[in-house]
Amino acid sequence: MQHRPRRSPTPSDAPASAGIRARIRTRAAGRGRTRLRLTAAAAGLALVTGLAATASASPADSAAPASAPPPAASGAQQVEYFGPDGHPRHTTVPVATPKRLAGPQRARSAAELAADGDVTSVIRNGATAKKVDVVFIGDGYTLAQQKDFHADAKAKWAQISKVEPYASNRKLFNVWTVDAVSNQSGVSGDPGKDVVKDTALDAHFWCDGIERLLCVDTGKVESYAGKAPDADLVIVLGNSRKYGGAGYNDITSPVGYDGIATASSDHPDSAQVAVHETGHSLGKLADEYVYDTNGTYTGAEPSAPNITKMSVAEMKAKKAKWYRYLGQNSPDGGKVGAFEGGGYYPRGLYRPTADSIMRTLGKEFNLPGRQAMIDGFHRHTGR
């Protein structure tokens, strides 16, 4: 179990309403997680051009840890990302934006300040307490580009919500935009590593030296997310065509949302990364891929619903994990069983199917994964 330092809200933060605070306390009570669960919660990120991510991270890659990464130290955050080769990886990045990117910033005009923080309801299906409230925040959009941002947010949601079980449950979601007015259009590190843009959330590719890793100042994100009535899931769109993204799912937000996903606004594959990331944040699902060098898992039974130490026979006998679905056809192909390898370990842990989206981008959630997502939706709908 691990506790991360909470970030102090910036002075510009809108105070959370009493209702939101009450929900945060409720959630905080349920925040105890095993070490494995926390690692899995590191956000899914990034970019695969036209090809599915493959399952097994290469130990030869310097960005791939030999084992599941240790808890991030104070001042650092864990992120999950998918490199251009499609291999999933984890890394730890500094919380603080590099100084060369963080300032100095031009003072914003009165008109820019007046528009900054505007909240718009994009899709409304019901009261916030009864719906999953998805909040999009844009970075690298100037005052004149806020309409573009709204269009990009709608388009991204359309892509995400095409995937099951979102598609069959669209009515469970409200979608909001919060305008963040940037001084310059585009984000740092696009197209080149040395490009610096003066933006509201300090979004930058080449985060910690990794081109496709799109980091943000999570404290600034929080200050904007707090302006929405009830943020349950936060997606930051960097105004860019470049392939990239990131996921911060180990963030404990006083605002009450489960993690932050970043994605480039105009790359077609970034929605897949966001969907994988919500598998962690909403579905509480573990990654089903492995690091080859990790060997055999010997820890406690993981809390995630889609990995287990148990065999098929043990799951059946104990009525545990995905026993209900054993032998059924799964939307990602094949039948649900117990496939060795998952939760970053090639041995000693089992996953429900050969190749779901929690293992390979571009795939479907498997049957237990779909149910976990639906359960996650309903954690936010008061049902």
Site of interaction with Zn ion (CB under 5 A) = 44, 80, 287
Least separation in angstroms between CB 80 and Zn ion: 5
Report residue 318 as tokens: 């104990």
Report residue 227 as tokens: 């302006």
Least separation in angstroms between CB 358 and Zn ion: 6
Helix and strand element counts for the chain (H, E): 9, 12
The amino acid sitting at 95 is: V
Least separation in angstroms between CB 64 and Zn ion: 13
**How far is the CA of 253 from the CAs of 199, 257, 381, in angstroms?**
22, 6, 19
The amino acid sitting at 46 is: A
Dist. CA 187–CA 115, nearest whole Å: 20
Dist. CA 81–CA 65, nearest whole Å: 13
Dist. CA 192–CA 199, nearest whole Å: 16
SS (H, E, C) 228-271: CCCCCEEEEEECCCCCCEEEEEEEECCCCCEEEEEEECCCCCHH
**How far is the CA of 74 from the CAs of 33, 92, 261, in angstroms?**
18, 11, 21
SS (H, E, C) 126-137: CCHHHCEEEEEE
Least separation in angstroms between CB 280 and Zn ion: 6
Beta pairing partners, 188? 204
**Residues 313, 328 contacting (CB under 8 angstroms):** no
Least separation in angstroms between CB 272 and Zn ion: 12
Dist. CA 119–CA 21, nearest whole Å: 20
The amino acid sitting at 292 is: D
Residues 6+ apart with CB under 8 A from 113: 181
Which one-letter DSSP state was computed for residue 172? Answer: G
Least separation in angstroms between CB 160 and Zn ion: 15
Least separation in angstroms between CB 195 and Zn ion: 28
Dist. CA 340–CA 288, nearest whole Å: 10
- Beta-carbon-side half-sphere exposure of residue 249 (alpha carbons within 13 Å): 29
Least separation in angstroms between CB 36 and Zn ion: 13
Dist. CA 246–CA 194, nearest whole Å: 20
Best CA proximity match to 217, nearest among 252, 172, 181, 262: 262
